[in-house]
Amino acid sequence: MNVILLRRLERGIRSLTPFVTTLALVLLGTLPLPLPGFATVMPWLTLMAVYYWSIYRPDLLPLVATFLLGLVQDSLSGTPLGLNVSVLLVVQGVVVSQRRFFHGKTFLVEWWGFMLVAPGAALAAWVLVSLYFGVLVAPQPLGIQLLLSIALYPCLAWLFARAQHHLLRST
């Protein structure tokens, strides 16, 4: 009886992998680094995680979890409350609705999809921030952030795939 309970507990903990990895990236992305201006161009790690897990394990990253992750990111990064929440939820909705397209395809198709989704997310974030502050915010930092995110996505996707293979194979 205890073995069955331990297996269920282990499965439950493993099923938190998408949430925990994304939360770790939220925290990493909001660390105050001693590089002037880097915070404004830091790759959008949370977007990459939500995109990946929405394709491969949307069952383990429900909308409520994405809402909480966006709220934590907004709170820690000082962005207008609800900005990342809104963008991440829309991205998750779009990706989940299109995930059948990605199954059985190569990584290049997945990366290409990210190259389509990320600019849309960046544009939405830019519009929302500009509306919030009532001025057109300079788009250059967001453009650099977007390019860094697209360039870094293969590395993070590889790490997510390893986590999925090792931790979620039986979940």
Q: Cβ(89)–Cβ(67) under 8 Å?
A: yes
> Distance (Å, rounded) from C-alpha 32 to C-alpha 10?
34
The reported pTM is 0.92
Sorted by sequence, the CB contacts under 8 Å of residue 169 that are 6+ apart come out as none
In whole angstroms, give the CA distance from residue 104 to residue 37.
40
Q: What is the spatial distance between Cα 167 and Cα 62, in angstroms, rounded to a whole number?
A: 18
**Residue 34 confidence (pLDDT):** 67
Q: What is the pLDDT of residues 49-92, one digit of tens each?
A: 999 999 999 999 999 999 999 999 999 988 999 999 999 999 99
Query: Which residues form the domain of 145?
Result: 2-167
Q: How many domains does the chain have?
A: 1
